[in-house]
Amino acid sequence: MTTAMAAPVAVPCEEVDRRITRSRRALRNALIELATERGMDGFTVNDLCERADLNRGTFYNHFKGKDDLALSLQTEFMDEIGRFRDRMQELTLMDLAKTTVTKRPLPVLVELFDYLREQSDLLGAMLGPAGDAKFSQQLRDGLCADLIWGLLHERYRREPTPFVEYYIAFYSAAYLGVITRWLKTGMRESSEDMARIAMRLLLIKPGESLTV
Amino acid sequence: MTTAMAAPVAVPCEEVDRRITRSRRALRNALIELATERGMDGFTVNDLCERADLNRGTFYNHFKGKDDLALSLQTEFMDEIGRFRDRMQELTLMDLAKTTVTKRPLPVLVELFDYLREQSDLLGAMLGPAGDAKFSQQLRDGLCADLIWGLLHERYRREPTPFVEYYIAFYSAAYLGVITRWLKTGMRESSEDMARIAMRLLLIKPGESLTV
DNA sequence: ATCGTTATTGAACAGAGTGTTGATTTATAT
DNA sequence: ATATAAATCAACACTCTGTTCAATAACGAT
């Protein structure tokens, strides 16, 4: 397999053609709009192309179908989320201790909520009642669960008991629920507030005082 | 509107015709099977009727479409769940205190997990990755959330702060996550064990010992 | 066992959505 | 300016939908 490189003068590398990026952006926006309005099952490829103002053939040039487009947007998002996950797993106990001293929320958490806000149109469509159950689970298992694992004592990480597994399931679902609620109520709280709330929910115990 | 009752000898009241119940049961089973195998979007009304071994016209005699059938099964389930919710909201602090003394889990919680196991075929189909996001939220808000509200001090129930709202979202999503995981891993734990785990998750705080 | 009722069947139908094709036009990068 | 490639348009066979109808079968009640 001697694939002789065609040796272009300037390596394109990124997608060069503006038409492609324009079509994809239009389709992205149309999908999010329609999914928000009618749910993922409430519209057809025809509707999608009409909203995006482009030909149906163009759509099929890029994606295999509606779900393929949705999946594309989701993985794009999840890749970015992966960076946050990696950063959080590198957190030391020092970093955590620092937050209780300085009373400032974890910077990486604040940035995470900033990013979630930035992507709130996509998330609102996918996490909503008529959204994509698969995506919710991806986010739960690919972000929240990993974070909780990182907080566990190494002893439990190496030999998880049945209860530890439920413990993980409990907290990862819980944080996805918090994020979902924040998005659904219009993101009234600032990213800093949400980071603080997230920290506090980790340490609270029912019955304790809940005053803000 | 003087509706003269036709005065049948034995009031049918319940659905009399066996054909109806048979068709509905066949459709119920077929839906659950196919939804489990391929997800809610992975099959057509044709597939459904073929699996249920009845005519497509028969299906449309009973339901408006695939989603209508699913909704019917869901509300049937949620009605039953409502009874558990009511019973749990009547729990007194005495009942809770008793469990810590006798080391026995709350009977109503055990019965709840029994019922969930009984309905695990439906739940597995609806709560799975390719399930129905709407149903997940119904269960979260219609069971878990109400339970957590019941545990709150009345002070917070009457004037919920923003944090309290997130607190509710946190714990209700958490318990739905636990239930989902239990179902997905084949319900290895007994209902008693699950009731105990549920109680314990309410009282635990990260960092504490997690030994079973 | 018979009878009136009614659910089910099978076939057919129009309508909508899908996914693909080919020729044509248009926009793009160089 | 030109070669390249994306977008367009029309058409296609196909599947699924939701409804109709007459005919059949199963049902509950007498």
Q: Per-residue pLDDT for B5 more than 50?
A: no
Q: Is B149 on the interface with A (CB under 8 A)?
A: no
What nucleotide is nearest B59 when CA is compared to C1'? Answer: C8
Quote the pLDDT of residue B150: 82
Query: What is the percent of chain B with per-residue pLDDT over 70, rounded to a whole number?
Result: 89
Contacts 24+ apart (CB under 8 A), A77-84: A77/A119, A77/A122, A77/A123, A78/A138, A78/A139, A78/A142, A80/A115, A80/A119, A81/A115, A81/A139, A81/A142, A81/A143, A82/A142, A84/A108, A84/A111, A84/A112, A84/A115, A84/A143
Average pLDDT, chain B: 90
pLDDT, average across residues B23-41 = 97
Half-sphere exposure of B197 (CA within 13 A, CB side): 26
Stated pTM of the model: 0.90
How much is the pLDDT for A4? 43
Name the closest nucleotide to B45, judged by C1' and CA.
D16
Confidence of residue B145 (pLDDT cuts 50, 70, 90): very high
Tell me what pLDDT residue B206 has. 60
Q: Which of B166, B185, B202, B208 to mutate to test the interface with A (most CBs of A within 10 A)?
A: B166
Query: Which positions of strand D lie within 7 Å of protein CB atoms?
Result: 5-11, 15-21, 26-30
Tell me how far CA of residue B163 lies from CA of A153, B108, B157, B159, in angstroms. 28, 29, 12, 11
The pLDDT of residue A65 is 97
